[in-house]
Structure 1
């Protein structure tokens, strides 16, 4: 009996050891580089270009840091950062990110840390893109580079939380410094970026209820006019520098060539020479020559009047 008991104990120990050593290898949660095609947020068409995408998976969401093309003397890298907050369950073993709202002091520290040495001033104008309100701070470095730090929190309203849904949240950060772009060009990135990722389940929907169409559409007496030229997501040359665009020269317009005036056709009548005028001569106008006989004698040659040419020359008036 004692031998059987000992054998059973040894067998149990061996089985327990096999069970503990037969588990699969698991890599701890750490940031990893993913292809640009898997980016959960994209810059607007035309730039800035994506250099790399680093993804960090947590128990309550995902964070991605997109490094963007940078052409500036300000230290640091341009980036577009997105954070998804919600119990997606993609990596339950990893720790969760703190669920923090945007604070005034915290965002000021972020802006100054993103652009070292640049005096960043917050813009107090209310702005809104396709995802809701956002804000930004901007400044100019000593070398003349323009810097912008924008932030946005995408979250449904409190009224949409009453039905145990729409509790997710997305936070976006943008840092752009460029030597040639203006503040308005950098700001167009905040209007033109696209969030391609989402959270699983209606309970974590960060956008809330879908808004219906405008009531004025199709209604008589409510004209709809085209865009009046407001801020648009225009294309930028950050990350795309064609040589032809940088060496573009203004078009030179040639002066029109003036053609010379044509010479007059016909017999030139010389003006009277003032040297042949007789002082004190009678200056009264001469009577007009009659139609009967108009002749001018010069050098002994008689020039007949036009009325005495042809058959008219046989008349008695022309024979005088």
Structure 2
């Protein structure tokens, strides 16, 4: 009996380490499920035009992952621009926890309650238009905040159609909420946020698919009689036409232009007096008066092509200051070889 007693004691002492190992737990976990993440770990990204990500707060539940993606804010309306994403269908990180997040359906009362919490004191007006982005239909509302701020609250639920969901395929869902306020913004600019955000996160499970089955290929693809154009709904050219460049011309006020006519027989320069009335300019051949040693004699100038048409003024007085003036053709008597006064 004593031998059996020693044997049982030996077995008991040998089994104690195994019992101790079986009672050991996981490493110590933090008392909160929330943690701060860098911007590159956000599961939903805002559009490239912004607003930019300031920080990401993540909360892990037994059945979901919740991220508050804080965005840059410069508006006067109290509150923080926010993009909220909830991914349902994940496994619990703790074996003995009981902390589940409820996936509530999108209802008018639920959305009104969310907007009151996100934008207190701001009267929001929901849009009645049916719109959808790359992930399906979504809703939105606008309201005026403090100062010139325009605020938008958008919501979307991404999930497969009800008839295709099963425990083995197409299960899981994504809830998206966006709260954006911006000074001097337009509805088109804020609404572009809902059209251009990108979901980058996913759940590592083969049956998780909130997007549904992929759409079948169009039967007209590759067929005859079904032309496909680059932009079938727009006449905008693919390569935009650059506007013509305009060059500035700087001018300064100066006297009327003086054109010079150099006929072969003339040695002096003719001074032209411009007409005050706006009339078509015509090049008119005229006699040129020259001064010689014996007196004043007219010399008929041959017609020549001038860069500036020469039209003297009928009423302009001749200036006898060492230069020869060109009178009007009607004031010259060529046959008498003398200049007469204008009548």
Larger mean Cα displacement after TM superposition, 70-79 or 253-262: 253-262
Contact 2:62–2:94 (8 Å) recurs in 1: yes
Contact 1:166–1:202 (8 Å) recurs in 2: no
Alignment counterpart, residue 40 of structure 2, candidates 37, 41, 46: 37
Contact 1:216–1:222 (8 Å) recurs in 2: no
1:228 aligns with 2:234: yes
Structure 1 position 38, deviation (Å): 1.5
Q: 1:190 corresponds to which residue?
A: 194
Determine helix, strand or coil for the equivalent of 2:207: helix
Mapping of 1:198-277 within 5 angstroms?
A: 198-219=202-223, 220-226=225-231, 228=234, 256-257=250-251, 261-266=256-261, 267=270
- Structure 1 CA distance for aligned equivalents of residues 202 and 66 of structure 2: 12
- Structure 2 CA distance for aligned equivalents of residues 103 and 67 of structure 1: 25
Q: 2:78 corresponds to which residue?
A: 75
Contact 1:59–1:92 (8 Å) recurs in 2: no
Q: 1:280 corresponds to which residue?
A: none
Structure 1 position 44, deviation (Å): 1.2
Q: 2:103 corresponds to which residue?
A: 99
Structure 1-normalised TM-score? 0.68
Alignment counterpart, residue 60 of structure 1, candidates 60, 63, 77: 63
Q: What are the superposed Cα offsets for residues 121-176 of structure 1, whole Å, 9 maximum, x if unpaired?
A: 10111110000000011101241201111010000112322684212110001111
Change over 3 Å in CA distance of 1:265–1:214 after alignment to 2: same
Change over 3 Å in CA distance of 1:43–1:255 after alignment to 2: same
Give 1 or 2: higher helix fraction.
1
Q: 1:118 corresponds to which residue?
A: 122
Structure 2-normalised TM-score? 0.64
Determine helix, strand or coil for the equivalent of 2:114: helix
Determine helix, strand or coil for the equivalent of 1:203: coil
Which 5+ residue runs of structure 1 have no aligned equivalent? 231-252, 275-284, 300-320
Q: 2:52 corresponds to which residue?
A: 49
Q: Choose between structure 1 and 2 for higher RCO, CA contacts under 8 A separated by at least 6 residues.
A: 1
Q: What are the superposed Cα offsets for residues 68-113 of structure 1, whole Å, 9 maximum, x if unpaired?
A: 1111111111111110111434445442211321111011111121
Change over 3 Å in CA distance of 1:7–1:161 after alignment to 2: closer
Contact 1:148–1:176 (8 Å) recurs in 2: yes
Alignment counterpart, residue 133 of structure 1, candidates 126, 137, 141: 137
Q: What are the superposed Cα offsets for residues 208-245 of structure 1, whole Å, 9 maximum, x if unpaired?
A: 11124444444434443526399xxxxxxxxxxxxxxx
- Aligned CA-pair RMSD: 3.9
Q: What are the superposed Cα offsets for residues 180-210 of structure 1, whole Å, 9 maximum, x if unpaired?
A: 3222111111111111111233422111111
1:166 aligns with 2:170: yes
Change over 3 Å in CA distance of 1:57–1:14 after alignment to 2: same
Contact 1:59–1:93 (8 Å) recurs in 2: no
- Structure 2 CA distance for aligned equivalents of residues 273 and 195 of structure 1: 83
Larger mean Cα displacement after TM superposition, 126-135 or 104-113: 104-113
Structure 1 position 21, deviation (Å): 7.1
Structure 1 position 179, deviation (Å): 1.4
Contact 2:151–2:179 (8 Å) recurs in 1: yes
Q: What are the superposed Cα offsets for residues 31-60 of structure 1, whole Å, 9 maximum, x if unpaired?
A: 111222221111111311111111111111
- Structure 2 CA distance for aligned equivalents of residues 105 and 114 of structure 1: 14
Q: 2:25 corresponds to which residue?
A: 23
